[in-house]
């Protein structure tokens, strides 16, 4: 009995967990994938399928009103594109348009953001006036500027009455002035985008940095260059990238304001594709142009992000 009382009772050896616990663990592991599956499905339907369709038609000779002539041509559309002078002209105009628009919108948007970030009477009203053009659609913007540019009733007509300029001046009908007129019209709508993003980032700059710079003897200019601009770097890079893509694909304003004229002076690459689809119904060649534009934008975007070191700490 004494030996039996001294015997230590050992617990049973640990075995594998009950099989009943695998169900909840599996459900927890699959829950994130189940939650994102609707988004993935929508992206596949509305993004992957259309892009794949465009690439498919880019390899085809596909003219809607000539269905009997449809055929697989491989890279034939791309070879024809290299010899298409209208393609190169529209690509050159698109590059010129993007550089002019994005640079001017950035400078003016930065200036407006710095102004409305200050404290003054009526700041809320000033911010509303600065941001309001962003809510206006491209077609409505075009209608406003077409009224302003109208040679019979627009602003140039009234300027001619006071001796400034000539009566009947049509800035949209002159190849020498149409680019500047279109740029000004798009600036009115695009500047608020930069102002909104930059103002939001300005309000997150720690005031202690400005106080430290002031103690070190830095004035407003040096504080802007060494405190404000470095803090705004990522916001500026992101805004310029997004706006460059949007301006490259700009169709609504140029289409309704000039329709690519006069004499093709304002025909961008997307507008050239739209004209092909609307007039000649050549969806195969238009898809090849769209694919080329996609590749150009993708290459420039990746290169810009790498050169600007977006998201990296210096």
Q: Which residues are CB-neighbours of 237 under 8 A, at least 6 positions away?
A: 304, 305, 308, 310
> At the topology level of CATH, where does 96-269 sit?
MetI-like fold (1.10.3720)
* Cα–Cα distance, 247 to 99 (Å, whole number): 9
Q: What is the per-residue pLDDT for 21?
A: 63
Least confident interval from 37-41, 125-129, 152-156, 227-231: 152-156
What pLDDT is recorded for position 1? 45
Could you report the per-residue pLDDT of 56-82, keeping only the tens digit for each?
999 998 888 887 788 888 899 999 999
Q: 226: which residues sit within 8 A by CB, 6+ positions away?
A: 213, 218
Q: What is the pLDDT of residues 204-229, one digit of tens each?
A: 888 888 888 888 787 888 888 888 88
H or E, element range at 199: helix 178-202
Does the pLDDT value for residue 55 go beyond 80?
A: yes
Is pLDDT of 9 > 60?
A: no
Q: Average pLDDT, whole number, for the chain?
A: 85
What percent of the chain has a predicted confidence (pLDDT) above 90? 30
pLDDT of residue 18: 53
Task: Look at 69 and 294; give whichever has higher pLDDT.
Answer: 294
79-117 confidence digits (pLDDT tens):
999 999 999 999 999 999 999 999 999 999 999 998 998
- Between 27 and 17, the more confident residue is 27
What tens digit of pLDDT does each residue of 258-276 get? Answer: 888 888 889 999 999 988 8
Is the Cα torsion angle 152, 155, 159, 164 positive or negative in sign?
A: negative
pLDDT for 143 equals: 87
Does 245 have pLDDT greater than 90? yes
For CA atoms 131, 132, 138, 141, the dihedral sign is negative
The total of other beta-carbon atoms located within 10 Å of residue 185's CB is 23
Average pLDDT over residues 21-44: 84
Q: Is the pLDDT at 20 greater than 60, yes or no?
A: no
| Domain boundaries defined on the chain | 96-269
Asked whether the whole model's pTM tops 0.85, one would answer: no
DSSP string, 136-154: S-HHHHHHHHHHHH-TTTS
Cβ-contact 156, 70 below 8 angstroms: no
Map residue 200 onto helix, strand or coil: helix
């Amino acid at each position: 009995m004494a030996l039996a009382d001294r015997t230590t009772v050992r617990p049973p050896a640990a075995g594998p967990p009950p099989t009943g616990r695998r169900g909840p663990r599996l459900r927890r592991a699959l829950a994130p994938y189940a939650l994102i599956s609707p988004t993935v499905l929508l992206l596949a339907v509305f993004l992957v399928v259309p892009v794949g369709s465009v690439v498919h038609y880019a390899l085809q000779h596909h003219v809607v009103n000539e269905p009997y002539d449809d055929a697989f041509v491989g890279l034939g559309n791309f070879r024809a594109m290299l010899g298409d002078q209208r393609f190169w002209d529209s690509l050159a105009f698109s590059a010129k348009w993007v550089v002019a628009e994005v640079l001017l919108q950035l400078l003016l948007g930065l200036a407006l953001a710095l102004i409305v970030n200050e404290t003054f009477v009526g700041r809320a009203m000033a911010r509303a006036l600065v941001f309001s053009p962003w809510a206006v659609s491209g077609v409505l913007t075009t209608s406003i500027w077409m009224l302003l540019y109208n040679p019979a009733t627009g602003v140039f007509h009234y300027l001619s009455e006071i001796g400034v300029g000539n009566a009947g001046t049509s800035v949209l009908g002159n190849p020498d002035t149409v680019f500047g007129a279109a740029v000004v019209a798009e600036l009115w709508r695009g500047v608020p985008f930069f102002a909104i993003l930059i103002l939001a980032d300005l309000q997150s700059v720690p005031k202690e940095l400005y106080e430290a710079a002031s103690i070190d003897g830095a004035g407003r200019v040096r504080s802007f260059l060494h405190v404000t601009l470095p803090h705004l770097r990522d916001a500026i890079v992101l805004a310029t990238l997004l706006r460059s893509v949007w301006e490259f694909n700009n169709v609504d304003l140029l289409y309704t304001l000039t329709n690519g004229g006069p004499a093709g002076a304002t025909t961008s690459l997307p507008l050239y594709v739209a004209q092909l689809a609307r007039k000649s119904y050549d969806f195969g060649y238009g898809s090849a142009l769209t694919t080329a534009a996609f590749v150009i934008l993708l290459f420039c975007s990746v290169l810009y992000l790498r050169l600007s070191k977006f998201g990296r700490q210096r």
